């Protein structure tokens, strides 16, 4: 049962809405002014139904009172014929849902129930936000949590995958049982199996006593395997067997142990791509990818930035015993423009540093670091591959196309769609690239940037890159010769990268493996698989 505030500005709509809400078992308070809400908006379950124009001064005051809570209780408005629809009301006026001008009792009850359930989910999980992306995540969490199936969480680093994993556990029948998180990338290969499965006394040097692993400790509960793409192949094999049989043996053990654990896997990498290049087991991927939740990056849910900022300021001010009123308008404008490559984690860390370091009780634009004010922190930073010179320069203009393509081909870690998005973002941040006829110095390619850029024009030129020879001398006589074309399969791409790298090091397989960042045995297997004989 909830307390529902109903605006009485339009009695012809307010009265039937009141009857519908009462029939649904909720308490109702008819309000004419914002002051009637003040002091009661912090009750556990509340909602506001506006009958007046949501953009009017009276409605704005009511919204501000509801905004004082995070997560904010639902605000429902009437969609008049003069508006552009509920989408505009949600985007510009932060309305959560809409009703027709003269709604039926069933319409009122359905919309109110949905919004109150979403509000309760946010209270329980701590996942806040009003954008469509985060709403979709909440809906999936609510549907997935009650079942015991394996879940795969995907999304960029810092988007809140562990928070979602805890939400799934907290809403599941296992909520009273253990929740354990393991970062697969933080443990060396020699220790990861021991951490996951435990070990017997004397199993290896230093194993002075029996140790229970994370699977045993999480029995009847949930286990989060974070950064699962970094798990070594041998451990992937053992994990697959545990997922299928629910049985495992400790390191050095001789008897199987049976467990009932719900596994939640998380990664910021494209697992399908990792499967294609042989870094992740295909059968394990299919076993993990039963139910998937993709978390949106912060730059695609900018309307949630003020909400998250307000929440972090409150939490961190209390934690550090500092009183803050919030952000100055110009400071919030900077946060809304910034691209947030580190997502929510980066935003939280920035707010924490401001709470500690900002001199006043209001965070101002000048308090932010230069990279936040200028937006340079959102630019793509590429590690230069060994032996490859910096990209060509035309005056003060960096030409990023060839660097993007070469890194894609050699390291095989960025697909063409990502490449296109990153270059489009780079070009938008550098308007000087829009000058007519920028010459790619030394490449023989001229790109008229007034026209749409086609990535098919970015094949490696005949002149090639300058690469080191087997003796370490720099030469450009033998170009890598990598040619990329749309529709090229990952296997073909991988073969071309291996051949080009071997040529660049004079056929030295050890050096080629180092440049490709794979093991020598993996390289030998690839040479045999692709019938490469240099």
Domains of the chain: 3-124 (3.40.50.2300), 136-294 (3.40.50.300), 299-378 (1.10.8.60), 393-529 (no CATH)
Beta-ladder partners of 292: 152
According to the model, what pLDDT value does residue 482 have? 65
Strands 362-363 and 326-327: parallel
According to the model, what pLDDT value does residue 40 have? 87
Alpha-carbon span 259 to 165, nearest angstrom: 20
According to the model, what pLDDT value does residue 410 have? 44
Using CA of residue 150, residue 155, residue 156, residue 157, what is the dihedral sign?
negative
- List C-alpha distances in Å: 436 to 189, 363, 444, 450: 52, 42, 16, 7
Burial environment of residue 191 by CB neighbours within 10 A (0 to 12, 13 to 18, 19 or more): exposed
Beta-ladder partners of 295: none
The sheet carrying 97-100 orders its strands as: 27-31, 3-7, 46-50, 75-79, 97-100
Q: 189-197 and 233-245 are packed helices; what angle lies between their axes, rounded to 10 degrees? A: 10
Using CA of residue 166, residue 168, residue 172, residue 174, what is the dihedral sign?
negative
Q: Is the pTM of this model over 0.85?
A: no
Task: Give the pLDDT of the chain (534 residues) as one tens digit per residue.
Answer: 899 999 999 999 999 999 999 999 999 999 999 999 988 888 878 999 999 988 889 999 999 999 889 999 999 999 875 555 677 777 777 789 999 888 999 999 999 999 999 999 999 999 999 898 999 999 999 999 999 999 999 999 999 999 999 999 999 999 999 999 999 999 888 889 999 999 998 888 888 899 999 999 999 999 999 999 999 999 999 999 999 999 999 998 889 999 999 999 999 999 999 999 999 999 999 999 999 999 999 999 999 999 999 999 999 999 988 887 789 999 999 999 999 999 999 999 999 999 988 888 889 999 999 889 887 654 433 333 333 343 444 444 344 444 444 444 444 444 444 555 566 666 666 665 554 444 444 444 444 443 444 434 433 444 444 444 444 444 444 444 566 666 677 778 888 888 888 888 888 888 888 888 787 777 877 888 888 876
Shortest CA distance to 38 belongs to which of 16, 12, 11, 5? 5
Structure tokens of 37? 């809400």
Alpha-carbon span 5 to 32, nearest angstrom: 10
Strands 222-226 and 179-183: parallel
Helices (H) and strands (E) in the chain, counts: 20, 22
Alpha-carbon span 259 to 162, nearest angstrom: 22
Alpha-carbon span 413 to 408, nearest angstrom: 6
According to the model, what pLDDT value does residue 397 have? 37
According to the model, what pLDDT value does residue 518 have? 82
Alpha-carbon span 406 to 417, nearest angstrom: 15
Burial environment of residue 303 by CB neighbours within 10 A (0 to 12, 13 to 18, 19 or more): middle
Q: Give the DSSP letter string of 60-100.
A: HHHHHHHHTSSSPPPEEEEE-TTSS-HHHHHHHH---EEEE
Contact between 247 and 258 (Cβ < 8 Å): yes
Burial environment of residue 179 by CB neighbours within 10 A (0 to 12, 13 to 18, 19 or more): buried
Contact between 97 and 48 (Cβ < 8 Å): no
Alpha-carbon span 210 to 194, nearest angstrom: 11
């Amino acid at each position: 049962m909830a307390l529902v505030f109903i605006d009485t500005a339009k009695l012809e709509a307010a009265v039937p809405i009141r009857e519908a809400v009462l029939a649904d078992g909720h308490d109702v308070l008819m309000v004419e002014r914002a002051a009637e809400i003040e002091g009661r908006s912090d009750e556990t379950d509340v909602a506001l139904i506006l009958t007046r124009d949501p953009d009017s001064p009276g409605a704005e005051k009511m919204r501000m009172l509801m905004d004082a809570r995070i997560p904010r209780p639902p605000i429902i408005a009437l969609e008049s014929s003069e508006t552009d629809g509920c989408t505009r009301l949600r985007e510009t006026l932060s309305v959560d849902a809409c009703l027709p001008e003269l709604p039926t009792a069933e319409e009122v009850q359905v919309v109110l129930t949905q919004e109150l359930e979403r509000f309760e989910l946010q209270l329980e999980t701590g996942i806040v936000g009003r954008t469509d992306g985060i709403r979709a995540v909440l809906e999936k969490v609510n549907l997935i949590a009650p079942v015991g199936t394996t879940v795969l969480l995907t999304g960029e680093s810092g988007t809140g995958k562990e928070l979602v994993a805890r939400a799934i556990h907290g809403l599941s029948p296992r909520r009273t049982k253990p929740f354990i998180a393991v970062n697969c990338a933080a443990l060396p290969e020699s220790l990861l199996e021991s951490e996951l499965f435990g070990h017997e006394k004397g199993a290896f040097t230093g194993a002075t006593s029996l140790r229970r692993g994370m699977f045993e400790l999480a029995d009847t509960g949930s286990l989060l395997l974070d950064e699962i793409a970094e798990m070594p192949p041998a451990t992937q094999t053992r994990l697959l067997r545990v997922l299928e049989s629910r049985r495992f043996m400790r390191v050095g053990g001789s008897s199987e142990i049976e467990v009932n654990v719900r596994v939640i896997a998380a990664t910021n990498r494209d697992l399908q791509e990792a499967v294609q290049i042989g870094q992740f087991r295909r059968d394990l991927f299919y076993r993990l990818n039963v139910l998937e939740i993709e978390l949106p990056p912060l730059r695609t849910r900018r309307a949630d930035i003020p909400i998250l900022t307000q929440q972090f300021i409150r939490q961190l001010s209390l934690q550090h015993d500092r009183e803050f009123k919030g952000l100055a308008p110009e400071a919030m404008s900077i946060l809304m423009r910034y691209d947030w490559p580190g997502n929510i984690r980066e935003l939280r860390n920035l707010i924490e540093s401001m709470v500690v370091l900002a001199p006043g009780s209001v965070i101002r634009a000048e308090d932010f670091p230069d990279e936040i004010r200028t937006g340079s922190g959102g630019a793509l930073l590429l590690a230069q591959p060994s032996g490859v010179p910096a990209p060509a320069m035309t005056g003060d203009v960096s030409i990023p196309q060839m660097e993007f393509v070469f890194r894609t081909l050699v390291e095989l870690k960025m697909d063409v769609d990502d490449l296109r998005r990153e270059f489009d973002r780079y070009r938008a941040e550098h308007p000087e690239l829009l000058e007519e006829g920028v010459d790619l110095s030394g490449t023989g390619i001229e790109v008229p940037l007034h026209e749409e850029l086609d990535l098919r024009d970015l094949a490696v030129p005949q002149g090639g890159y300058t690469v080191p020879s087997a003796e370490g001398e720099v030469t450009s006589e033998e170009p890598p010769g990598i040619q990329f074309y749309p529709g090229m399969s990952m296997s073909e791409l991988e073969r071309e990268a291996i051949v080009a790298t071997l040529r660049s090091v004079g056929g030295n397989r050890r050096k080629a493996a180092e440049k490709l960042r794979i093991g020598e045995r993996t390289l030998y297997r690839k040479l045999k698989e692709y019938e490469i004989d240099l």
